[in-house]
Structure 1
Amino acid sequence: MKDELRELYNSVQEKASDKWSLYIDIYSKEFKSYKDKNISLCEIGIQNGGSLDIWSKYFNNIHKILGCDINPLCGDLKFDNKNIKVIVNDANKNSTKKEIEDFFDKGIDIFIDDGSHISSDIIKSFLLYFEMINEGGLYIAEDLHCSYWKEFEGGISDPDSSINFFKTLADIINHEHWGIAKSKNELLNHYTERYSIHIKDEILEKIHSIKFYNSVCIIEKKKTEKNILGPRIICQGKELAASLSKVNMTSIPYDQNDNFWSSFSEPLGVEYINKTEQLVRNEKLLDETRKEILLLKSKNEILEKEISIIKNTGLFKLKILIDNFWKKNEK
């Protein structure tokens, strides 16, 4: 069976484009069910615009394609397909989001973030644009290998890296099993407050699945009712090893309010950073207090010496006065 997407990338196109080899394999599989549908696609980070041309050829009934890039030279790109539009601006600016919303009057089916690869940009883009994805659509973040590098605001244990943000979203999917009174968006408070972008619970509850590939994360969006665990389905038959007659037909979570590991208000990495910073502040305060105590001790020693001198000087003068008194009386 031929791989049409790889054939397009292996052929000479009018405009250059590059994707890592694995990405082409991933997209050939993930985009298969969308190939003949009337879809809209948005891509952040388009370089020479070659990928937009390829998408217009790969999808048979593409409705609209929009590419967004901060490079001013992208404004000179021309396309034969009139359904392709390019915006030259920062995708995470509100004015750009509004322009993209206006262009996709019926929402977005496939969103590809191939922009700066900086963690803060990737997280902000998801918080801004996931609500625009149609039910049944895909949100894709590329080149997440950058999230392991400090040059892109990352690190393997950095709670603010893009890959760790997407790992947090995996907990959102399992919200009904948390066993604590905490909303989905509360779990993301650290990020939404950091970037001043609010995302509603009713949007987060439409996350159906999160797939991690090497350097790629794909988030599928579906109707809320498609994302709950649902009732237990029992295939009737002989129960030779375990009785199923008294099992719960719905999932009931254990109460986790007294679970230490469920008590954190922020991601564990953030809690660690906050506690470490607090510890540093406390140690600094303790050090300053020690210095103040030493200074007070030093001042106290000086005062004690001065008092001693005064006392000794006074006694000496008193002795002289007494001696002089007796000498006068003896005469």
Structure 2
Amino acid sequence: MSLWSEFLTHQGRTIHKWKHYFPAYERHFCRFVDRPVTFLEIGCGLGGSLQMWKRYLGPHAQIVGIDIRSVCAEYQEDQIAVRIGDQSDPAFLSSIIDEFGHPDIVLDDGSHVMAHVLASFGYLYQRCASDGVYLVEDLHTAYWDEYGGGLGREGTFIELCKALIDELNADWSRGALMPTEFTRSTQSMHFYDSMAVFERGRTLGKSAPMYPALPQD
């Protein structure tokens, strides 16, 4: 059953998601299905998405929801843990890593305030599994003043992403930009309407072999 079908047939707590997110979810999360995976969702909403991830990812998945609202503690059930705290607080995020280990997937559906999104990414990205996925959604707020956004405004997550594209390609900058930990630990970046996805992975030395080799003169 597809994730979209899981959503349409869901009978548990309410899920509130944009329709066009589902193909991207499935594209980036499908390789984790039925694996022992730790899925961290920032922002618990009405609790339904936690249940959807549990159903989709299967019996070996540990779903962890974090939210600043104490009422979200009621969403706990088998395979679903909820911890109450601020997504921009490094001490709180550290306690999540200490308890559950390095997440394989992080999905930021939290406050959508740019300062909070940046703080979570800054702390959690390099603490994800080495082959993990970090997805930030509802990035339309990066263009809205009330969330600290604005077109071309310094300090939004979209502007950070523009700089990270350069870091991803730092090896080709001819010394203008030194490779960073992001360069060395990121395989790819993907952008969708209101969504950014980062695929982590070890990078090896870059080469462009030619097979079969051309004959030598």
State the TM-score, normalized to the length of structure 2.
0.92
Map 1:162-311; keep pairs closer than 5 Å. 162-180=157-175, 182-184=177-179, 201-202=180-181, 204-225=183-204, 228=205, 230-236=206-212
What amino acid is the match of 2:118?
I
Q: How far apart are 1:61 and its partner, in Å? A: 4.0
Secondary structure of the 1:129 match is helix
Greater relative contact order (Cα < 8 A, sep 6+): 2
Per the alignment, residue 87 of structure 1 pairs with 83
Alignment partners' CA distance in 2, 1:210 and 1:168: 12
Pick the structure with more strand per residue: 2
What amino acid is the match of 2:207?
P
Secondary structure of the 2:82 match is strand
Provide the identity percentage. Answer: 28
Is contact 2:87-2:119 (8 Å) kept?
Answer: no
Following TM superposition, the consecutive aligned residue runs of length 4 or more in structure 1 with deviations greater than 4 angstroms are none
Q: Which runs of 5+ in 1 are unaligned?
A: 185-200, 240-244, 247-331
Is contact 2:105-2:133 (8 Å) kept?
Answer: yes
Map 1:60-99; keep pairs closer than 5 Å. 60-79=58-77, 81=78, 83-99=79-95
What amino acid is the match of 1:218?
V
Q: Which runs of 5+ in 2 are unaligned?
A: none
Alignment partners' CA distance in 1, 2:20 and 2:60: 24
Q: How far apart are 1:18 and its partner, in Å? A: 1.1
Is contact 2:76-2:82 (8 Å) kept?
Answer: no
Alignment partners' CA distance in 2, 1:176 and 1:238: 27
Q: Give me the CA root mean square deviation.
A: 2.0
State the TM-score, normalized to the length of structure 1.
0.61
2:137 maps to which of 138, 142, 148: 142
Secondary structure of the 1:140 match is strand
What amino acid is the match of 1:217?
A
Alignment partners' CA distance in 2, 1:232 and 1:130: 29
For 1:90-111, what per-residue CA distance to the aligned partner results, in whole angstroms no more than 9, with x for missing partners? Answer: 0221221122111223x21110
Is contact 1:68-1:89 (8 Å) kept?
Answer: yes
Q: Quick one: structure 1 residues 152 and 115, their matched pair in 2 at CA, closer, same or farther if it must change by over 3 Å?
A: same
For 1:218-249, what per-residue CA distance to the aligned partner results, in whole angstroms no more than 9, with x for missing partners? Answer: 00110132xx5x1121133779xxxxx79xxx
Q: How far apart are 1:21 and its partner, in Å? A: 0.5
Alignment partners' CA distance in 2, 1:7 and 1:92: 33
| Structure having the higher Rg | 1
Q: How far apart are 1:204 and its partner, in Å? A: 4.7
Pick the structure with more helix per residue: 1
For 1:137-188, what per-residue CA distance to the aligned partner results, in whole angstroms no more than 9, with x for missing partners? Answer: 100000011101111111111121111111211111111111236434xxxx
Equivalent pairs, count: 217
Alignment partners' CA distance in 1, 2:177 and 2:193: 31
